[in-house]
Amino acid sequence: MTVSRSDLLRRQFDLTWSLFEYHLDRLEPEDFLWEPVPYCWTVHRTAEGTWVPDWAETEPDPVPVPTVGWLSWHIGWWWSVTLDHLEGRPPRDRTDVTWPGPGKPTVDWLRDLRTAWLTSLAGLTDPDLDTTAPFPWPDDPEHKLADMLAWANAELMKNAAEIGQLRLLRSAASAPTTA
């Protein structure tokens, strides 16, 4: 039995998402802004009540440890922009992607992005995967839509693992020690 490339990419996404759901179901609002070390990137509430992420145009060295809040904003940002490209809309600017806040609002936002992603993927066929990728490699005919979808799966897997690790570390840090 031969599996189409689009089916393979969808299976990869479904596996990654199921692993992410494990952590999404267990995240507490306090997990989002927990800073495991003093040098972190996080999200900050503005005077207007919105949230903005730490950001540098050139990645610092060393790279700051991101919080769950920052990572969840980052997922929302790249996923929103990838959807814009996939659906032929002008891509929004990084500063136009607003983090909803700790807890349920962000978990719901990420689940809504998943639904939008699945809806967008449902119309793709294997020949579509051979068109030039509009993102994240602008004007590079070597990268195809299949590459963009694989990149999105890999980015989600990486960010989900980072969120899971932070959640586990925070939980372990507050757990009673056993003898």
Tokens 């599996």 found at: 3
Helix axis angle, 68-86 to 104-122, nearest 10° = 20
Contact 148, 133 (CB under 8 A): yes
Nearest to 119 by CA among 94, 162, 87, 147: 87
Q: Judging by beta carbons within 10 Å of its beta carbon (0-12, 13-18, 19+), is residue 142 exposed, middle or buried?
A: exposed
- Domain segments of the chain: what residues? 5-35+63-122+153-172
User: CA 91, CA 81: separation in Å to the nearest integer?
Assistant: 5
User: Identity (one letter) of the amino acid at 144?
Assistant: K
Q: How many CA atoms lie within 13 A of 95 on its CB side?
A: 3
Query: How far is Cα of residue 60 from the mean position of the Cα atoms in its chain?
Result: 20
For the chain, the 3-state helix, strand and coil shares in percent, each to the nearest 5, are 55, 5, 40
Tokens 């996080």 found at: 42
User: pLDDT tens per residue, the chain (179 residues)?
Assistant: 777 888 888 999 999 999 999 999 999 999 999 999 999 999 999 999 999 999 999 999 999 999 999 999 999 999 999 999 888 899 999 999 999 999 999 999 999 999 999 998 888 887 888 888 877 877 778 889 999 999 999 999 999 999 999 999 999 988 777 65
Tokens 């959807």 found at: 83
